[in-house]
Amino acid sequence: MLKFEVVEGWGELPEGWAFTQVAGVAVDSRDRVLVLNRSPHPVMIFDREGKFLSSWGEGAFERPHGLYIGSDDRVYCTDDKDHTVKIFTLEGELLSMLGTKDRPGEGGAPFNRPTNVALAPSGEIYVSDGYGNSRVHKFSRCGELLLSWGTPGDGQGQFNIPHGVWVDGDDRVLVADRQNNRIQIFNSDGEFLTQWTGLRRPCTVFIDRDNIIYVAELESRMSILDADGELLARWGGTKSTAPGQFVAPHCTWVDSWGDLYVGEVLEGQRIQKFVRAR
pLDDT digits (tens, 9 = 90+) for 50-88: 999 999 999 999 999 999 999 999 999 999 999 999 999
Question: How do 249-254 and 231-236 pair as beta strands?
Answer: unpaired
Residues 6+ apart with CB under 8 A from 44: 13, 19, 34, 35, 37, 52, 54, 55
Q: pLDDT > 70: what percent of the chain?
A: 100
What pLDDT shows up at residue 223? 98
Say how many domains are in the chain. 1
Q: What DSSP assignment string belongs to 66-99?
A: EEEE-TT--EEEEETTTTEEEEE-TT--EEEEES
Structure confidence by residue, pLDDT tens digits, 111-164: 999 999 999 999 999 999 999 999 999 999 999 999 999 999 999 999 999 999
Range of the domain at 104: 4-276
Q: Is the pLDDT of residue 215 over 80?
A: yes
Question: Both ends of the chain: CA-CA distance in Å?
Answer: 12
CATH of the domain at 84: 2.120.10.30
How would residue 261 be classed by pLDDT, with cut points 50, 70 and 90?
very high
Structure confidence by residue, pLDDT tens digits, 164-181: 999 999 999 999 999 999
Q: Would residue 244 be called left, alpha or beta, if left means φ above 0 and alpha means ψ between -120 and 50 degrees?
A: left
The answer to whether the CB of 230 falls within 8 A of the CB of 4 is no
What pLDDT shows up at residue 199? 98
Q: Is the pLDDT of residue 278 over 80?
A: no
Distance separating alpha carbons of residues 198 and 219, to the nearest angstrom:
12
Q: What is the pTM of this model?
A: 0.97
What pLDDT shows up at residue 84? 98
Q: Is the pLDDT of residue 277 over 90?
A: no
Q: Would residue 236 be called left, alpha or beta, if left means φ above 0 and alpha means ψ between -120 and 50 degrees?
A: left
Assign 180 to helix, strand or coil: helix
What pLDDT shows up at residue 203? 98
Q: pLDDT > 90: what percent of the chain?
A: 98
